[in-house]
Structure formats: C-alpha cells, structure tokens
Amino acid sequence: MRIEISKKDFFEGIQTVNRAVSSKTTLPILSGILLKTEEDKIKLVATDLEIGIEFYVKANIIRDGAIVLPAKYFTSIVRELSDDQIILTADLSNNTAQIKCGQAQFNIHGSPSDEFPLLPKINSKTRFTMYQNILKEMINQVKFAISDDISKPFLTGGLLKFEEKNLLLVATDTYRLSYRRVSFDRKDIIGEEVIIPNKTLNEISKLLNDNEDLVEISITDNQILFKFSGVTIVSRLIDGQFPNYKQVIPKKNNTKAIINKVELLNSTKRASLLAKRDSNIIKINLQEDQLIITANVPEIGQAYERISISLTGQETEIAFNATYLMDCLKVITSEEVILELSGSLSPGVIKDSSGDEYIYIIMPVRSN
Amino acid sequence: MELNIIHVDMDAFYASIEQRDNPKLKGKPVIIGGRGKRGVVSTASYEAREYGVYSAMPIVKARQLCPQGIYLQGDHLKYREVSGQIREIFYRYTELVEPLALDEAYLDVKGNHKNSIRIAKEIKRKIKKELKLTASIGVSYNKYLAKLASDFNKPSGFKIISPFEAKEVIFPLDVNNLWGVGPKTAQRLKELGFYKISDIAKGDRSLLIREFGKRGYQLYKLAQGEDYRKVTPPGLPKSLGKETTFRYDTRDKGVLRGYLKDLSKEVANRASNKNVKGKTITLKVKYENFEELSKSRTIEGNISKQEDIYRLAEILLEEVVLDKKIRLIGITLSNITEDGVEQLKLL
C-alpha cells in the first residue's frame, strides 16, 4: 500500500475517527485506526464496538492496501508533521508503515487489517434525513440532562422518539428533564423510539456542521447510523425502557413569569459564586414585578440579584441547583424565557418563548 | 486586636476522669497507658508527675520511677464521651470550636456579645460544676498566645495575654516556646544566636527567611506576638470507608456480595451518624498476592442509604476480574456533602 495525501486533510480525518478509538486495552486491535484504500480515497475507521466512525479522505492512491496503525502514536506523529504532502507506505508482509513528510521519516508497527472488526451493515426501513444544524441544536439542548448513573442504563442516553408530525429528543437524570421537539412528517415511522448513548450524541454534535447540509439517519433494533459530510457513525443503542416523561411534565401552574434570558443567566452565574460549592443552591423569589436571586455561604457572605420580570399568578419562592438552571439557559436561543412554578416543592418548568418546542423541567431543592 | 481566642486544655484529662469516677484513686499516682512491654504513658495524674512520670514515656520506665503507681489501660470510649460533653459546653458560646485532641480546643468567641474573659471563666466553672473536672484556660487575641497562656499556671490555670503585655510575656521565653519549634529548630536557632524570643523579634528577618524559608517569616511574626491562623472548625469528613479482610481468601461472587452488603450497611450508618451524603463510591479489593485494585463511580445525585451504596458497589464488583482470590474488600463513600438539603427527584 502506498498513498500520497495532504497532511491537513489526513489529520482532520484521523481526528474525526479518533473519537471512537477504544481506551480500554482488552482488545489491542481496537486501540488502532484502520486505513484502507478505496478508489481515489483512503478510508479511516475506528471503533470501540459501542461506537464506530468511518471517514473518507481524498488521496493519491499509488498502490492499494490496508493496515491498522496504533492510534495514539499515529495521531501524534501526523499532528507534528509539517504542512506538506505525506507519503505513507505500508509493507503488508510484516505490517509496518513508513510515514514520510519533508525531512521526517517514521517507521511504525501496525497490525493486519483483517483482524479489525467491520462496522455493522445497517439495512433498515427506518431511514430519514434532516438538517445537520437542527440535529446539532436538538442534541445540544438535551444532552446535558443525560444521567451518568450506570445502575439505570436506560437513563444514560437520549430518547429519540417519532410521534405523529414530531420528532423528539428527551433526556433526564431524574433531577431535571430536557425535551426538544421538531416537526417531522413521516407516517411510516410513527411510534418508533430508541435510546442513543450519551457518548454517541456528544461525538455527533461535535462533528455536525452548523448548516443545512443533510444528515442521513438509519435505525435498526440495536444500532443507529448517522451519515453526513463524509462521516459515517454507527452506534449501539441502549436496551431498556425510557421512563414515561409525559407524566412528569406539569400541565398547569400557579405562577408564570416572563424573564429576559441573558439577565437570568448572568444573575444566576454571579449568584452561584456564593452558592455552597457542594450543593450549589440559589434561592429565587418571584414577586409581582421582580425576581430576586439570593445565595449564601455562611463563612464567606451573601449574593443578591434583582431582575425585572412580568408575572402572572401567585408570588412564590423556590430553591434550585444553580448549575441545573444555567445548563438550560445556556442552550435556549430565544431572548426571553418562560418560568412556570407550582409551589416551592413542585417541579419548575422553563420554556423558550416560542412555545412548546423546548421544555426543561427542573426539580427544586428542599432545605431541611 | 480583641481577646477573642480561648484555648482550653484539660488537666491530666484521662487520669482525672479515672480519679473522678473511682474515689479510691483520688490523691494517688494514676498512670494511663498501653499495656505490654512497648506501651507508653498517655496521661499521668499530677501525683504521678511528681515522680517524674510524663506523657510518652515508656511504661517500663514509668514503673521504675513510680512502682507504687496505679497503672490503667484507659477507657477511650469514656474519654471520647466526656470530651463530647466538654465540647457541648463550648458550643453554648460559639460555633467556632477547633478541637486539637480530646482534651484540648481553640474557641473563637468573636460572634458572642459577651465579654470573652467572662465566657472563659464561665466555661471553666461549668466544666468544674457539670463534669467535675478542671481545665486550664488561656485567653488572648490569637491562637499562639492563647495556647501559651493556658500553659502558664497549670493545673486549673487561667491566664490572659493582652496585646499590651504580649511582648513582655513572650520576649524572655526560650525560643522553644514558639509554636512549631521543636528540638531541632531550637538548636539551629541557637546556633544562629537566637536564644530568647526577643532575639528573634529584634533579629534579622531576612536571615530567618534565608535559613528557614516561609517558616522563618512565620517565626519572626510569632515572636512579635502575631499569629494569623484562624480557628477553623473541623470540616466534613473527606470520605467514609470501611473494609474487611477475610478469614479465607475467596473469589466467590456470592460471598463477596454478602461482604459488600455488610460493608454498605456500616458505611451507610456512619454517613447517617455524621449527617452526610456522598457522590462517589469506590470499591477496593486486595488480591491474595496483595495486589490492590480500586474502581470508583461518581453519580449525579447524593447517596447515603445502604441500598444505594450496595447497588453501586455491586456494579463495580462486576468490573473486577476474579482471576485470583481476594483477601480484602472495602467500600468508600466520598465527595461528601452535608445532608441538610435535598435535591428532589422527578421520577
């Protein structure tokens, strides 16, 4: 195998697939990246068997072939090479590769490509496309609420659900829940729902573009495939039943406030400087025309923030974990947010001003 | 500089408790210390001190000096309980209590509107009246001087060092009376020509810094009667752990789970005693070849109940390779927070 490739393109490809390289050493072959020539491109593949990423880079293919190279060394070598053409030659008889670029020359030991597991072939009728920027926004508005409690695996991912006319992404760690809906009209896949692992959502959101290029998604019983901008990502799905999130979304409220989002975010951020580091609690007092945030650390001092709001319903008081509140404010795009409460021990609801497309439920903190 | 710092030091604490609870021991040389050949004296009553017996002296030596002494092993549970009763008296006056040992603590009474000297006298009186024990008390404007003061006329001492007399009191003292100066530092100080505290106070600061670094600066400050250490109440424990070594090494998961259940219960009990919760569970195992391994997991919420601790510990146990037998297993709860607030749940 022998190829000539631009360093910049090559490194971008390596970085892309690197996200799937296994960090565990139980299967050494998985700590490598597969390189395989295909027509006028080189295919890069990495997988930890939970998630697999495949990426094609244009190259001048001089001689076909395939080899697996250790990701850690291979990546750092290519990173440090000068911005030039790289000549990569692999001797398949003894599985070594030579990387030449400018004055630099490296010989590294690899493994035979046939030991590398193939990414599963996805053949499914549940197949659809959407804009990359929309999917990216959905993921970013939801992923922070995913649980890391491994004893409840079904909460360690985001629920993707097809409803009539809507596609939903929902996540909860039981302390808060994040819900995002986009319109979607495919009668043939109504009712399907899958749980996508946290890591997969994270990696995808990093790789997706902020534009209206399409991403193609296919779903089987236990796998999901994303295809976009030359990247193919295959991920296992999480087994299990996602809890019935509908029943925790409050239907009514006693207090409703419209608040400037940036002001609320900045005030919360500042007040949280004096929220006890471990529990991170701020108190929010809602009055007729103002919202007061207070926080205090007895040994250090107190914080006080005031924001003008418009309120309907009862005045009330509630305490939240400041991080939980900030998490949602950071991802809401509208200028104003709607905060709905029903007393200091009931869930609070935050929506963006556009309506019900984005809903965030946050449970209060009770101080004894 | 207000006289807000009080140092309370119980007189011959363990021995006095024994004498209080057993009238036969009154007026006799009582020595509390470890049994066995290598035991040392932990407390000697003032009667025993007259024979030259002092703390940390080997018991064997003590027996030579004071053969007629009454030697007791000591009841640490009881001492701990009495220590708690003393602290309870302190807390009537301030939250800022920093215990140094069972028999010694600093108090900062700046938050109490009462005069600190009066507080100190009341504490001394209450310890005597309620617990029938005597304490030596020092009152000053910093920790160093308060402790120095409590040591002035033991037993049952009471001494105030005010800012006006501080230098007068400490200047004539030997350098080993400075906080943190042990025999080695004292010797080095003397080699450099510093014999008395006044020598340091009036000495060359840059020489002290050159010789002792940051500590040199601190010594210089202490010698002026300045000490900026705060009275800091003990924080939350960093972690709560419990481990057990098996009688027989094992690799039987059922057996290991049984141990985990017991350990989870003990950790949960300790967490509930201390009124804390934690975010991280660590499972530690030691293999038969003494190789150690620990696995931990941090979750978003806080846990303290046995079921929750066990649930995570069991998952971690699944990750442990049982290719060798295990001789020890342990569970630790860390990332601790106070159990005063409760994050409510949706589901």
Query: DSSP letter string over A270-335?
Result: HHGGGS-TTT-EEEEEE-SSEEEEEEEETTTEEEEEEEE-EEEE--EEEEEEHHHHHHHHHH--SS
Number of domains in chain B: 4
Quick: pLDDT tens for A307-334: 999 999 999 999 999 999 999 999 999 9
Which letter does DSSP use for residue A19 in this model? T
Rg (CA), chain B: 25
Q: Please tell me the distance from the alpha carbon of residue B194 to that of residue B168, in angstroms, as a whole number.
A: 17
Residue B62 lies in a domain: yes
Q: Which residues of A touch B345 (CB under 8 A)?
A: 174-175, 363
Q: Which residues of B touch A295 (CB under 8 A)?
A: none
Residue B316 lies in a domain: yes
pLDDT at A196: 97
Give me the long-range contacts of B102-106 (CB less than 8 A, separation at least 24).
B102/B13, B103/B9, B103/B10, B103/B13, B103/B14, B104/B7, B104/B8, B104/B9, B104/B10, B105/B7, B105/B8, B106/B5, B106/B6, B106/B7, B106/B143, B106/B146, B106/B147, B106/B231
pLDDT at A166: 93
DSSP β-bridge partners for residue A53: A46, A233
- Mutate: best of B279, B308, B317, B343, partner A, most A CBs <10 A: B343
pLDDT at B35: 73
CA distances from A108 to A36, A77, B1 (A): 17, 10, 70
Question: Over 60: is that where the pLDDT of A141 sits?
Answer: yes
pLDDT at A349: 96
Q: What is the mean pLDDT of residues A350-360?
A: 89
Count how many pairs of residues, chain A against chain B, have C-beta atoms within 8 Å: 63
Asked whether the beta carbons of A324 and A335 are under 8 A apart, the reply is no
Contacting residues for B22 by C-beta, under 8 A, at least 6 apart = none
User: Which tokens go with A164?
Assistant: 């009539």
- How many degrees, rounded to 5, is the angle at CA A287 between CA A283 and CA A292? 35
Residues B267 and B325 in one domain: yes
CA distances from B324 to A225, B251, B256, B289, B316 (A): 40, 7, 13, 8, 17
Residues B48 and B106 in one domain: no
Q: Please tell me the distance from the alpha carbon of residue A74 to that of residue A61, in angstroms, as a whole number.
A: 19
C-alpha B252: how far from its chain's center?
40
Distance (Å) from the alpha carbon of A246 to chain B's nearest alpha carbon = 11
Alpha helical stretches, state H, A4-67? 7-18
What is the 3 state secondary structure string of B308-341? HHHHHHHHHHHCCCCCCCEEEEEEEEEEEEECCE
Q: Please tell me the distance from the alpha carbon of residue B126 to that of residue B327, in angstroms, as a whole number.
A: 50
- Find the CB nearest A175 among B298, B300, B340: B300
Question: Would you give per-residue pLDDT tens digits along chain B (347 residues)?
Answer: 789 999 999 999 999 999 999 999 999 999 998 776 778 899 999 999 999 999 888 888 999 999 999 999 989 899 999 999 999 999 999 989 999 999 999 999 998 899 999 999 999 999 999 999 999 999 999 999 999 999 988 899 999 999 999 999 999 999 999 998 988 889 999 999 999 999 999 998 888 888 888 888 889 999 999 998 889 888 778 889 999 988 899 999 999 999 999 999 999 988 887 778 899 999 999 999 989 999 999 887 788 889 999 999 999 999 999 999 999 999 999 988 877 777 888 88
| Domain end among B139, B160, B181 | B160
What is the 3 state secondary structure string of A174-208? CCEEEEEEEECCCHHHCCCEEEEEHHHHHHHHHHC
Pairing of strands B70-72, B30-33: parallel
Distance (Å) from the alpha carbon of B181 to chain A's nearest alpha carbon = 31
A126-247 sits in which CATH class? alpha beta
A151 and B340 within 8 Å at the Cβ level: the answer is no
B341 and A148 within 8 Å at the Cβ level: the answer is no
pTM for this one? 0.68
pLDDT at B341: 74
Terminal Cα-to-Cα distance of chain B (whole angstroms): 55
Residue B85 lies in a domain: yes
B9 is in an annotated binding site: yes
Quick: pLDDT tens for B8-65: 999 999 999 999 999 999 999 999 987 767 788 999 999 999 999 998 888 889 999 9
B344 and A364 within 8 Å at the Cβ level: the answer is yes
Pairing of strands A176-183, A96-101: unpaired
Question: Over 60: is that where the pLDDT of A262 sits?
Answer: yes
Residues B58 and B144 in one domain: no
Quick: pLDDT tens for A195-213: 999 999 999 999 999 999 9
Residues B133 and B179 in one domain: no
B301 and A174 within 8 Å at the Cβ level: the answer is yes
Range of the domain at B101: 5-11+77-160
Cis preceding linkage at B155, omega within 30: yes
CA distances from A62 to A5, A44, A87, A307, A357 (A): 11, 17, 10, 66, 52
Residue B116 lies in a domain: yes
The question of whether B104 is a catalytic residue gets the answer: yes
A2-115 sits in which CATH class? alpha beta
Question: Over 70: is that where the pLDDT of A243 sits?
Answer: yes
ipTM of the shown complex: 0.80
Cite the residue boundaries of each domain of chain A with CATH code 3.10.150.10.
2-115, 126-247, 249-362
Residues B155 and B189 in one domain: no
- Using pLDDT thresholds of 50, 70 and 90, give the confidence band for residue A25: low
For residue A243, the chain B residue with the least C-alpha distance is: B347
A204 burial level (CB within 10 Å; 0-12, 13-18, 19+) = buried
CATH number of the domain that residue B103 is part of: 3.30.70.270
Quick: pLDDT tens for A148-180: 888 789 999 999 999 989 999 999 999 999 999
Distance (Å) from the alpha carbon of A244 to chain B's nearest alpha carbon = 9
Quick: pLDDT tens for A67-122: 999 999 999 999 999 999 999 999 999 999 999 999 999 999 999 999 898 888 88
| Domain end among B160, B181, B214 | B160
Contacting residues for B301 by C-beta, under 8 A, at least 6 apart = A149, A173, A174, A175, B279, B343, B345
A363 and B343 within 8 Å at the Cβ level: the answer is yes
Residue B343 lies in a domain: no
Domain A249-362 maps to which CATH number in 3.10.150.10, 3.40.50.1950, 3.30.420.40, 1.10.510.10?
3.10.150.10
Closest CA to B304 of B276, B330, B329: B276
Residue B285 lies in a domain: yes
Quick: pLDDT tens for A269-281: 999 999 876 678 9
Closest CA to A77 of A56, A98, A95, A61: A98
pLDDT at A368: 57
